[in-house]
């Protein structure tokens, strides 16, 4: 049976050219709140085995998912900010992330005030493709000496390298939907291993 | 009596130089979920007199507030995206917004797919200062022929022109906290008119 996100992808997702999946009608431009809330519960059900005390994400599309996940855990969200902001200051952990969507490298920053060696972190994001954003966040977690407990991804592009890279690093990765391939406008989901 | 946001500002807010209020420990970097959820309920209580069918905000700091507000209304969020994104395409309403925080002009975009003349929109955002972001969003709403029902602001800087500008345009503005002034590191809130 498909979960809530998988159903939404199959019903509403649109394959654009260049293997881009358009899901901005419910995920990353318009936000379907009951769906995102269910995704938060799904992440909680999987990761509640850990003592998570902070949910980390990257602005902007990860924030809604992170909020509803953090709500289930009863913990705060911290979102990495892109670029340099006056309000963040120099007291930050930083990493460079190449954005394929924007076609450029952006710096992501997390204030040292909100991440440290006491933190047990769940990183959540909307997409996992090549793992560029995930690598940046992992680098920031490394700098902070926090502990990465797991990575929760809404949509993993299974035909790109990010998922394998994280799993081979021993990271507990849980993707709500894995796109196996997109062909002639059709979306093929990878069957999840349930047992 | 102070509301939840006003209490958080007085307990945790820090006055930085240049009249910048640092609230990134609960609002716009780290996110205190129960607080944001309460803010969503507060916006709902004020704006439920209208038939809102969409909550509009601007990435990134507005997203969490918009989500918990939209949840109370049972409607989706649409967030304006900054810059030009491949996934949004050319089919967008656009406006230019000068960001004082970043010291540059950015373009904000909303896809024409997610805003149209049937929409009765509540715009929410984290800060209102000079009203630059609000003006940009109002311009986008004008282009879409949607109806702006109200503007919900978390923190209004009462000593800057944005609030007066919106009110004088006949817009129903509701700010959860209005900063009257910041002096010698102290924050002075404007008393809300309750009756």
Per-residue pLDDT tens over the stretch B40-59? 999 999 999 999 999 999 99
Residue A18 has pLDDT above 80, yes or no: no
Pick from A127-141, B10-24, B79-93, B107-121: least confident: B79-93
Record: contact A86-B67, CB cut-off 8 A: no
Tokens of A43: 């992440």
Model confidence band, residue A85 (pLDDT cutoffs 50, 70, 90): low
Closest-CA distance of chain B to residue A195, Å: 33
Whether the ipTM is more than 0.85: the answer is yes
Looking at the partner chain, which of A29, A63, A83 has a beta carbon nearest the beta carbon of B78? A29
Distance of CA A70 to the CA centre of its chain: 13
Mean pLDDT calculated for residue range B115-133 = 97
DSSP secondary structure of A91-113: -EEEEEEEETTTTEEEEEEEEGG
**What are the tens digits of pLDDT across the range B139-185?**
999 999 999 999 999 999 999 999 999 999 999 999 999 999 999 99
| B126 compared with B17, residue with greater pLDDT | B126
Sequence-distant (≥ 6) Cβ neighbours of residue B98 within 8 angstroms:
B104, B105, B132
Sequence-distant (≥ 6) Cβ neighbours of residue B61 within 8 angstroms:
B27, B28, B125, B126, B127
Count A/B contacts: CB-CB distance under 8 Å: 125
pTM (predicted TM-score): 0.95
**E strand intervals along B59-185:** 77-82, 92-99, 104-111, 120-128, 147-157, 173-183
Contact B124, B152 (CB under 8 A): yes
Residue B85 has pLDDT above 60, yes or no: no
Looking at the partner chain, which of B16, B30, B81 has a beta carbon nearest the beta carbon of A29? B81
Contact B154, B134 (CB under 8 A): no
Looking at the partner chain, which of B76, B101, B113 has a beta carbon nearest the beta carbon of A85? B101
What chain A residue is nearest to B21 in terms of C-alpha separation?
Answer: A87
CB crowding B111-134: b at 16 or more within 10 Å, else e? bebbbeeebebbbbbbbbbebbbb
């Amino acid at each position: 049976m498909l979960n809530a996100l998988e159903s939404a992808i199959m019903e509403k997702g649109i394959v654009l050219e260049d293997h881009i999946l358009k899901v901005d009608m419910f995920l990353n431009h318009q936000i379907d709140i009951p769906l995102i809330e269910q995704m938060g519960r799904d992440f909680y059900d999987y990761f509640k085995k850990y003592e998570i005390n902070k949910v980390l994400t990257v602005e902007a599309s990860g924030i809604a998912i992170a909020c509803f996940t953090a709500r289930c855990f009863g913990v705060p969200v911290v979102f990495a900010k892109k670029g340099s902001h006056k309000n963040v200051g120099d007291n930050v952990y930083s990493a460079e992330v190449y954005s394929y969507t924007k076609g450029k490298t952006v710096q992501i920053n997390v204030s040292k005030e909100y991440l440290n060696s006491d933190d047990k972190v769940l990183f959540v994001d909307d997409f996992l493709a090549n793992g560029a954003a995930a690598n940046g966040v992992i680098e920031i977690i490394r700098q902070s000496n926090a502990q990465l407990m797991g990575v929760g991804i809404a949509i993993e592009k299974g035909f790109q390298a990010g998922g394998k890279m994280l799993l081979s690093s021993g990271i507990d990765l849980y993707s709500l939907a894995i796109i196996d391939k997109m062909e002639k406008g059709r979306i093929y989901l990878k069957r999840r291993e349930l047992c």
